[in-house]
Amino acid sequence: MEVFRSIKDIKEHLSQLKKEKHSIGFVPTMGALHEGHLSLVSNAKQENSKVVVSIFVNPTQFNREEDLLKYPNREEEDLKMLNEVGCNIVFIPTKEGIYPSGVNTYTTFSFGSLEQIMEGKYRKGHFHGVALIVSKLFHIIQPDTAYFGQKDLQQYLIIKSLVNDLSFPLTLRCCSTVREESGLALSSRNLRLTNQERKVASNIYKQLTLAKNNILEKPETFKKPKSINTLKKSIINSLKQLETPVIVEYIEFFNLEKMELCQTISKPISVAICIAAIVNEVRLIDNLFIGDKII
């Protein structure tokens, strides 16, 4: 496994690999890796002859300075894990390399209605930062296929529109969310939770699963906005009443076909139930597909 920190060096290396007709799979990350990230690497390995993983804690996608400062740095462990799963190339650029003119760019990204909701609504400027870094990384790496996790569903949808709108010549894959046995979605932020908080946090997934089953069992009921609202309220209340309260920031149903929030559910169901919730200052997100997923 080779590690590159210089943009010039990795570009030279990759251009040689491309001359040798290697296919390049790319997994962008912010480090503090876990099995969720590694599953993206495994997917990339199955479909490509070389896999590149980037590790870069991107300052432009953090709307709270505090979150950026608290973001874990575990480079040594990350490299060990990547080596073990057979990653070929790791790219760890510097902030100066990625943002030579500073983080305030003239170019700004906006994604219309897609970023007025959920993560976009609660994390102003987040998707601008995501699109900026992903565009830069796509230009540097020029992958054949790039791999993202369903856990960050809205991010995936934003990147999908970025790739379509700007004609990036690559294929995107959305890989399933990897969970702890309890159901809690793996996240680098889980490192900030105590064991007890992690246990409590697994109720997020439990509530999403209950809601999903409820809808699939009696889909007719959810043709009315009232039923969706009652369901949302019951999830919010159940999570608030736990021994450590889980405070819901948003819970939304997103129609994957129409690409918008929905207040009712009708057949054919192609909806994701999406949640952001805070457990003792740690903000967690998760989502589940209901019905036939179409992404």
Strand pairing class (24-29; 145-149): parallel
**In the complex, what is the shortest distance from the CB of residue 24 to ligand AMP, in angstroms, rounded to a whole number?**
17
The CA distance from 265 to 220, in Å, is 8
Residues 152-171 that bind ligand AMP (CB under 6 A): 152
The CA distance from 183 to 282, in Å, is 17
- Check binding of 187 to ligand AMP (CB under 6 A): yes
The CA distance from 95 to 153, in Å, is 26
Question: Which stretches does DSSP call E strand in the chain?
Answer: 2-4, 24-29, 50-55, 89-91, 145-149, 171-175, 246-255, 260-261, 270-279, 282-291
**In the complex, what is the shortest distance from the CB of residue 78 to ligand AMP, in angstroms, rounded to a whole number?**
10
- Check binding of 136 to ligand AMP (CB under 6 A): no
The CA distance from 174 to 102, in Å, is 31
Cβ–Cβ < 8 Å for 46, 147? no
Residue 126 annotated among the catalytic residues of the structure? no
| Site track for ligand AMP across 40-79, x = CB under 6 A | x---------------------------------------
**In the complex, what is the shortest distance from the CB of residue 64 to ligand AMP, in angstroms, rounded to a whole number?**
15
- Check binding of 202 to ligand AMP (CB under 6 A): no
Cβ–Cβ < 8 Å for 118, 254? yes
Q: Which of these ranges, 34-42, 63-71, 237-245, 256-264, lies near ligand AMP under the rule CB under 6 A?
A: 34-42
**In the complex, what is the shortest distance from the CB of residue 174 to ligand AMP, in angstroms, rounded to a whole number?**
9
- Residue of 26, 37, 53, 201 that binds ligand AMP (CB under 6 A): 37
**CA-based diameter of the chain, in Å?**
59
Q: Which of these ranges, 17-25, 37-45, 66-74, 108-116, lies near ligand AMP under the rule CB under 6 A?
A: 37-45
Given the rule CB under 6 A, which residues bind ligand AMP?
29-30, 36-37, 39-40, 148-149, 151-152, 175, 177-178, 185-188
